[in-house]
C-alpha cells in the first residue's frame, strides 16, 4: 500500500532559494528640502552655476578618493574574512584530532572488509566492473580488488607523526588519512548499493546491473513486502507513495504493473542517492581547507605528499575529474525526478504505466553504463597527465 512505502523524497537535500537583497532609496529629509528651497529663493541656484566648474572638479576628486578608500577597505575586510574563514574551516591538525582520524579509519576499514566478506559473489563481481579502474569491458577480474586500498591503510597505520613534526608534515598526514577514510567509506557504500539492486531484482522482479541479475528474477516474489502495492493503485496512490499529492483518485492500474514501475523508480533513487553520498564522503579529502560542498577544483590543493612513500598524491587532478563526474547538481536531479513522477501520474493507464516502467528500466541501465563510461574517459585523461593506472588516484576515481 502506498502509505507503507518509504518516501523517495527523503534522500534529497532540500533546495533553498537564494535570498534576494532589497535596496532602499535614499530620500531627502524635510530639513534638506527646506534648505534647498531657501537657496533657490535667495539666488543660490545661480551662485552654484557660477562656480559649477570648480565645484564639479573638486567633487570628482573627492568622489574618486572616497571610492578608493571604500574599495581598499572592502578589499581589506574581504581579505580578513577570507583568512578568517580558511582559518576556521582548515582541517584540525592537533594530536587529539589526528588520533580521531586514525580511529575513524580503523572503523571504516573494518566496515569495508566486513561488507566485502558478506557480499555475495555476484555483488563482488559487479563491484569490480563498476567501481575498480578499467578502460574497457571484459578485463580480467582481480582476486582481491581491495588489495591496493588495504595496503595503503596498513602503511599509514605504521607511520608515526609526533607533536614536534612540522606543520606541513602533519597537514599531509591528516589529508591522506582523510582520503583513505573517504575511500573505505565509499567502498562500503557502493557494496550496499549493489546489494540493494540484487534485493530489488529478487523482490520486485526488476533487472539490475549485477551479474546473473540482469533479467527479471525467476524467483517468486513474496506476497507481502514493504513498498509493494497490495491492491490496484490510483494516480493519487502512486504520488502519495513518493511523498507527493494530487493525481486522479478514480482510475486504477493493476498492482503488478505498479510494483514494476515503483521498483524501477527505486533503482534510480538508489543510484542518485549513492552518488550524492559518495560526493559527500570525498569533500573532506578534496577540499580540506574549506569549500561550498560542491567539489570545486579551485578549492582543492594541487597535491599532498603521501607520508609513507614521499610521493605526491595528485589531489587537484582527482578534484577536476570528480567535478566533471558530478557536474549535475542534486537540485537538477530532484527537479527532473519530480517532473517525471508528475508525467507518469498524468498518463495513469495500464498501458501508460507499463511503458513508463519499461522506459525507466532502460534509463537505469543507460545511467549506470554512462557513468562507467565517463569514469573511463577521465581515467584516460589522468593517464595522459602521467598518473599510473595503479595509482590510488585511479582507485578513488572509480568509486565516484
pLDDT tens-digit readout, 25-63: 334 344 444 444 443 333 333 333 333 344 444 444 444
pLDDT band at 392 (very low <50, low <70, confident <90, very high): very high
Closest-CA residue to 212 (of 117, 131, 129, 121): 121
The percentage of residues in the chain with a pLDDT greater than 70, rounded to a whole number, is 69
Higher pLDDT, 14 or 104: 104
Could you read off the pLDDT of 267-307 as tens digits, one per residue? 999 999 999 999 999 988 887 654 444 556 666 678 888 99
Per-residue pLDDT at 222 exceeds 70: no
Write down the pLDDT at residue 226.
43
Instruction: Confirm whether 26 is domain-assigned.
Output: no
> What is the structure's pLDDT at 217?
41
Mean pLDDT across the stretch 61-76? 44
Per-residue pLDDT tens over the stretch 92-143:
888 888 899 999 999 999 999 999 999 999 999 999 999 999 999 888 888 8
pTM over 0.85: no
pLDDT of residue 92: 84
* Secondary structure (DSSP) of 219-231: SPPPS--TTS-SS
- Distance (Å, whole) CA 57 – CA 103: 68
Confirm if 299 and 287 have CB atoms less than 8 A apart. Answer: yes
Residues in the chain, how many? Answer: 400
Q: Which residue has the higher pLDDT, 197 or 213?
A: 197
First to last CA, the chain: 35
Which grid coordinates belong to 63? 568622489
Q: Tell me how far apart the alpha carbons of residues 101 and 209 are, in angstroms, rounded to a whole number.
A: 34
- CA quadruple 73, 78, 80, 85: dihedral, nearest 10: 170
User: Who contacts 12 (Cβ-Cβ below 8 Å, separation ≥6)?
Assistant: 330, 333, 334, 337
* Rounded Cα distance, 134 and 341, in Å: 35
User: What 3-state DSSP class applies to 290?
Assistant: coil
DSSP annotation of 141: P
Residue 233 pLDDT more than 50?
yes
Range of the domain at 367: 95-215+231-399
Give the C-alpha separation, 251 to 274, whole Å.
35
Instruction: Look at residue 213 and tell me whether its pLDDT is greater than 70.
Output: no
- Mean pLDDT for 148-172 is 86
d(CA 278, CA 188): 10
* E runs forming strands in 225-381: 233-234, 252-253, 304-305, 312-313
pLDDT at 346: 96
- Is 38 within the bounds of a domain? no
| Residue 378 domain flag | yes
Handedness of CA 4, 8, 9, 10 (dihedral sign): positive
Flag the least confident range among 216-225, 315-324, 344-353.
216-225
Q: What is the mean pLDDT of residues 75-90?
A: 42
Q: Is 3 a member of any domain?
A: no
Q: Which three cell numbers stand for residue 7?
A: 518516501
Mean pLDDT throughout 310-333? 88
How many domains is the chain built from? 1
- Is residue 73 scored above 70 in pLDDT? no
> By three-state DSSP, how is residue 263 classified?
helix
Amino acid at each position: 500500500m502506498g502509505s507503507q512505502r518509504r518516501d523517495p523524497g527523503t534522500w534529497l537535500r532540500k533546495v533553498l532559494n537564494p535570498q534576494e537583497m532589497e535596496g532602499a532609496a535614499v530620500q531627502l529629509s524635510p530639513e534638506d528640502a527646506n534648505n534647498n528651497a531657501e537657496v533657490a529663493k535667495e539666488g543660490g541656484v545661480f551662485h552654484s552655476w557660477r562656480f559649477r566648474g570648480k565645484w564639479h572638479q573638486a567633487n570628482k576628486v573627492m568622489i574618486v578618493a572616497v571610492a578608493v578608500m571604500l574599495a581598499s577597505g572592502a578589499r581589506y575586510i574581504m581579505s580578513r574574512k577570507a583568512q578568517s574563514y580558511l582559518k576556521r574551516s582548515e582541517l584540525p591538525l592537533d594530536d587529539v584530532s589526528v588520533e580521531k582520524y586514525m580511529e575513524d579509519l580503523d572503523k571504516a576499514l573494518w566496515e569495508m572488509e566486513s561488507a566485502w566478506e558478506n557480499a555475495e559473489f555476484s555483488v563482488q563481481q559487479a563491484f569490480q566492473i563498476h567501481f575498480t579502474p578499467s578502460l574497457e569491458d571484459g578485463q580480467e577480474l582481480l582476486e582481491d580488488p581491495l588489495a591496493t586500498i588495504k595496503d595503503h591503510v596498513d602503511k599509514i597505520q605504521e607511520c608515526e607523526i609526533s607533536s614536534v613534526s612540522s606543520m606541513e608534515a602533519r597537514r599531509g598526514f591528516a589529508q591522506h588519512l582523510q582520503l583513505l577514510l573517504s575511500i573505505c567509506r565509499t567502498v562500503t557504500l557502493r557494496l550496499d548499493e549493489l546489494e540493494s539492486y540484487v534485493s530489488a531484482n529478487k523482490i520486485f522482479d526488476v533487472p539490475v546491473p549485477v551479474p546473473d541479475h540482469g533479467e527479471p528474477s525467476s524467483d517468486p516474489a513474496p506476497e507481502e513486502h514493504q513498498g509493494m502495492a497490495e491492491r490496484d493503485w490510483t494516480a493519487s496512490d502512486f504520488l502519495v507513495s513518493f511523498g507527493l499529492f494530487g493525481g486522479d483518485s478514480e482510475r486504477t492500474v493493476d498492482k503488478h504493473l505498479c510494483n514494476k514501475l515503483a521498483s524501477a523508480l527505486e533503482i534510480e533513487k538508489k543510484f542518485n542517492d549513492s552518488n550524492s553520498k559518495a560526493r559527500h564522503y570525498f569533500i573532506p579529502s578534496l577540499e580540506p581547507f574549506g569549500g561550498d560542498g560542491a567539489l570545486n577544483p579551485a578549492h582543492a590543493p594541487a597535491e599532498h605528499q603521501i607520508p609513507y612513500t614521499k610521493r605526491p598524491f595528485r589531489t587537484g587532478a582527482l578534484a577536476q575529474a570528480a567535478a566533471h563526474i558530478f557536474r549535475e547538481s542534486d537540485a537538477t536531479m530532484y527537479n527532473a525526478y519530480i517532473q517525471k513522477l508528475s508525467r507518469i501520474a498524468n498518463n495513469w493507464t495500464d498501458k501508460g504505466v507499463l511503458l513508463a516502467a519499461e522506459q525507466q528500466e532502460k534509463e537505469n541501465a543507460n545511467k549506470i553504463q554512462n557513468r562507467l563510461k565517463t569514469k573511463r574517459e577521465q581515467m584516460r585523461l589522468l593517464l595522459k597527465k602521467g598518473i599510473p593506472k595503479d595509482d590510488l588516484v585511479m582507485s578513488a576515481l572509480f568509486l565516484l
